[in-house]
Amino acid sequence: MPTGSSGQVRPAPTGGSSRSPPGHNDRVTSPDATDPAALRPRLPSPVQEVVDGRFERRGVRLLLKRDDLIHPELIGNKWRKLAPNLAAAVGRTVVTFGGAWSNHLRATAAAGRLLGIPTVGVVRGDELADRPLNPSLARCAADGMRLHFVDRATYRRKTEPRTLAGILRAADAEEAWLVPEGGSNAEAVRGCLALGDELRDLADVVAVACGTGGTLAGLAAGLAPGQRALGIPVLRGGFLTADVRASQQQAFGGPRGTWSLDDRFHWGGYARVPDELDGFAADFEHRHDLPIERLYVAKLLHALVTLANEGAFPRGTTIAAVITGRPFP
């Protein structure tokens, strides 16, 4: 399917419709389109100690691993997961998947603009195709991402080879480099190894919020013996242990590092932010002058405060909480 015409909604051969972004031709072309290092990420990301009575009174130190400062547009684990994929794409179109508010879609679109790589976003929900874009999808489109909307039933089956082939054909992206929803393929998991490596000898426990668990899988692999990783799933369902194991198998050929999950802190499921959690996050922002992303980071920090209060960490423990994102917009 040709790209470049403004704001057009077009029927697709099977189960979807595509929208080419306005400004699609304004893409910035970098001298070396395949090298994300040209974007000068701030690595290793800074580590910041915060003084917080809720940890102090338990004899626990809290460090914040500021992955949100790696790059202004490829924020947090998005950098760590996307950079190796962009390098592997070697300038080919990158196609990926997400919901209407996906951080991952936005980051992929931004990366495409910055590196001059064409991007296609397969978006869940064909009913969205004819509506005004929400701010998150509008940002994707402004960054040059071609949006391809598919119905929810097809989207659910997108990992089945025949369905996937149909989606890619309909999106005119059959030759593209494929990044799965959430971005956690083997390249991405290996990209998160450096996160663990940067925290060697700095903390006893490294805690991270989990969606697909890809960040946790890589991070745990990069830690030193004696350190452990703690994952806080933000989705309901208790399926993540198997997913993290599978990610490590795919990325490293077997289990790596010491890690565990605590499934109690999803607050009802993905994107659920009850007032109490929002209040917790606003208070944390106020105490520590740090913008708190609500869907992942707030759930992580709330979990750590609760665990500290339960006495889950022995006195003398140093915890590093990975700040994987920043609020949007």
Ligand X SMILES: Cc1ncc(COP(=O)(O)O)c(C=O)c1O
Q: 49: Cβ–Cβ under 8 A, 6 or more apart, which residues?
A: 61, 62, 63, 64
Beta strand segments in the chain, E: 9-11, 16-19, 47-50, 61-65, 94-98, 119-124, 146-150, 177-178, 205-210, 228-233, 259-261, 318-322
Q: Rounded to whole angstroms, how far apart are CA atoms 325 and 271? A: 14
Residue closer to ligand X, measured from CB, 166 or 182: 182
Q: Count of CB atoms within 10 A of residue 40's CB?
A: 8
* Residue 324 engages ligand X in binding (rule: CB under 6 A): yes
Determine the size of the site formed for ligand X (CB under 6 A): 17
User: In terms of C-beta density within 10 A (0-12 exposed, 13-18 middle, 19 or more buried), how is residue 251 classed?
Assistant: buried
Name the residue among 96, 65, 49 with its Cα closest to residue 198. 65
Q: Rounded to whole angstroms, how far apart are CA atoms 16 and 89? A: 24
- The rounded Cα 232 to chain-centroid distance in angstroms is 14
- Tell me, what amino acid is at 297? V
Q: How far is the CB of 297 from ligand X (least distance, A)?
A: 6
Determine the interface stretch with ligand X among 9-17, 38-46, 207-215, 307-315 (rule: CB under 6 A). 207-215
Q: How far is the CB of 325 from ligand X (least distance, A)?
A: 2
DSSP codes joined into one string, 26-53 = G----SSTT-GGGG----SPPEEEE--H
Q: How far is the CB of 285 from ligand X (least distance, A)?
A: 15
Determine the interface stretch with ligand X among 2-10, 12-20, 204-212, 253-261 (rule: CB under 6 A). 204-212
* Residue 247 engages ligand X in binding (rule: CB under 6 A): no
* Residue 293 engages ligand X in binding (rule: CB under 6 A): yes
Determine the interface stretch with ligand X among 134-142, 211-219, 262-270, 303-311 (rule: CB under 6 A). 211-219
Residue closer to ligand X, measured from CB, 203 or 321: 321
* Residue 296 engages ligand X in binding (rule: CB under 6 A): yes
Name the residue among 294, 316, 92 with its Cα closest to residue 205. 316
Q: Which member of 215, 222, 251, 259 binds ligand X (CB under 6 A)?
A: 215
Q: Rounded to whole angstroms, how far apart are CA atoms 220 and 255? A: 10
What the block records as the tokens of 14 is 């099977």
* Residue 104 engages ligand X in binding (rule: CB under 6 A): yes
Residue numbers 69-88 binding ligand X by CB under 6 A: 76-77
Q: Which member of 211, 248, 294, 321 binds ligand X (CB under 6 A)?
A: 211
Q: Which member of 191, 214, 222, 257 binds ligand X (CB under 6 A)?
A: 214
Q: How far is the CB of 32 from ligand X (least distance, A)?
A: 27
**Per-residue exposure over 153-179, b if at least 16 CB sit within 10 Å of its own CB, e if not:** ebbeebeeeebbebbbebbbbeebbbb
Q: What does DSSP say about strands 16-19 and 9-11: parallel, antiparallel, or unpaired?
A: antiparallel
Residue closer to ligand X, measured from CB, 12 or 277: 277
Residue closer to ligand X, measured from CB, 176 or 189: 189
Q: How far is the CB of 314 from ligand X (least distance, A)?
A: 27
Residue closer to ligand X, measured from CB, 215 or 227: 215
User: In terms of C-beta density within 10 A (0-12 exposed, 13-18 middle, 19 or more buried), how is residue 46 classed?
Assistant: middle
Determine the interface stretch with ligand X among 161-169, 205-213, 252-260, 268-276 (rule: CB under 6 A). 205-213
Each residue 150-189 as x (binds ligand X by CB under 6 A) or -, in order, gives --------------------------------x-x-----
* Footprint on this chain of ligand X (rule: CB under 6 A): 76-77, 103-104, 182, 184, 209-215, 293, 296, 324-325
